[in-house]
Structure 1
Amino acid sequence: MASLTRRLFRTKPAEEIVAEGGRGEGGELRRSMTLWQLTLFSVGATLGTGIFVILGQAVPKAGPAVLAAFLLAAVTALFSALSYAELAGTIPVSGSSYSYAYATLGELVAWVCGWCLMLEYAVSVAAVAVGWGEYLNVFLRDLLGWTFPAALVHSPGDRGGVVNLTAILIVLLATWLLLRGASESAGANAVFVVVKVVVLAFFCAVAFTAFDSGNLAPFAPMGIAGVTAAASQVFFSYIGFDAASTAGEEARNPRRDLPLAIMLSLGVVTLVYVLVALAAVGAMPWREFDPESTEAGLAVIAKQAAGATWPGLVISFGAAIAIASVVLTVLYGQTRILFAMARDGLIPKIFERVSPRRRVPVANTLIVAAFVSVLAGLIPLGQLAEATSIGTLFAFAIVNAGVLVLRRTRPDLPRGFRTPFFPVTPILGVVLCLVVMAGLAGVTWLAFGIWMAVGLLAYFLYGYRHSRLNQGTR
């Protein structure tokens, strides 16, 4: 039993993880991504559907104090972002929190973390892809007066759906970009991010023309309880800032650029969220926000502020671009995490095969794309998508704990960034993640428990037996 426990919690030396960086079966990943591209990767993964939808659901809970809710959520995310920045600068590889857990807490914890990330990335990108068709339909309706038939934008059994063809199309488009290479994917994402930031800036410009300071009073009609309730909801708009950490083996200067990209992306996203929220609640009384509305609230506000329909058209276009960017970056992150897990022997080798010509994991990307396409096109995700939140928070908690462990066990390792106010910052990061997890619905915990049980079964049937670390191979 003692021997089994040692094997399950055996850590992989950080130097070994870093030394293997970029190498896969058949070739190496290409180091081509700059600080600018890494930052935009994280912004692209974070700045998505959240601000277009969740603002309308959060305002009725907090009133104008939704501004404070976004700032509170940003502070909560900041603790984990600081820990991600330190570990990304210390262990700059593709596995993100999976690799960090392997170096600090052991193989079993790393597997659980990687399994959580599979849930987070695969299901979330499918859920986001499902929403793309609806935003595309809003854009086409306002522009041409024509929409896709319900049978092609909804899953079977959902509002007359047969197959969500639009969701499959956006996944295939993202897959095509990923197969062209990391640099090309980063370039396309940069265009997407610039477009959606410009669209949100356009919304602010239009909404501020109708700004009424009287709409901000009373500032916090629901008190502190309303602010914290809204903060718990909008927190999930910040998930994605860690996307740059999945590109550790394709960054030109990872020790310097990964920590900077993570922190810069969080700063950019927070600034955009606060400005958009201020413009929204200033242009429309908070009591008029409809939490049940399925259309983008920002489009409604823009139409009212301008007294015309065309600003709503621009906002709908921005939402479609925002979702496309999220699909691209999250799909990328999923493939790189699987690449790292396959290199360690925990999943089949096919996921670590690198095309010598394209320098990307082609088979890995195609398998993930096929799986996500099936989820997005045929399965109504419903509350299963909410389970992605608990997987994300679990991974965040592991990263915060990893900083505490690695500072104690390997103080000698070179670090591109050090978390300030150690150990208070990572401890608060763990606590805040656990607090938010505790507030999630029972059905979410049930889905998470089932997923974890399947994951542990997969580990003991395959991962444990094929682990290169436990087999003594390098």
Structure 2
Amino acid sequence: HPKFHTPSFSTIVTGFFVAVPALFLNLDLVVDLTSIGTLFAFALVCGGILVIDPYGRSDARFRVPYINGKWLVPLLLIVSVYLLKTYNTAGNHEFWLDATGQHGWLVKEPITDKVIGGFAHQIPTMVFILASLALVAVTFQKRLSLLPVLGLLTNLYLMTQLGINNWTMFLIWLLIGLAIYCTYGYRHSKLNKIAVA
């Protein structure tokens, strides 16, 4: 846009390509895809803060206050696990069951599509647990700021609650977006033109 210097044309084109399929899709799917996309954007912002300014030393107009998360993040993880184990016993029991209600983790039969389908809904939760443990270890080791770490964990947790079908659609949409960016956007970006010149 000549006045605001925003990508107005690409925003309109993208809006069109999102709005037209939304007319023909299930409304719940559209809402969940919107939610997972928004939460992913928030998670990227929190992760970006951890990469660009992990200790709050930037000279920018707005800085995220630095609160050392070395001890607080592991403590919050321990308290969260204790509270979940103590007060969410039904949820803990359901986690170890597959979608058919069988004790799928204990099944010794060859893996079938039914078993894989039964556990597919647990994949986001398992990935979140592993990512949380890794982030807690990195926070303890590098003394990362508490606020972006909590923001990242919160957004990732909320994303795990949207289910495997939404994750599948989100990953397909993300791969399409990355393909467009890598084939067109990267070559036509202003930063790339400055670097070449």
Q: TM-score, normalised by structure 2?
A: 0.48
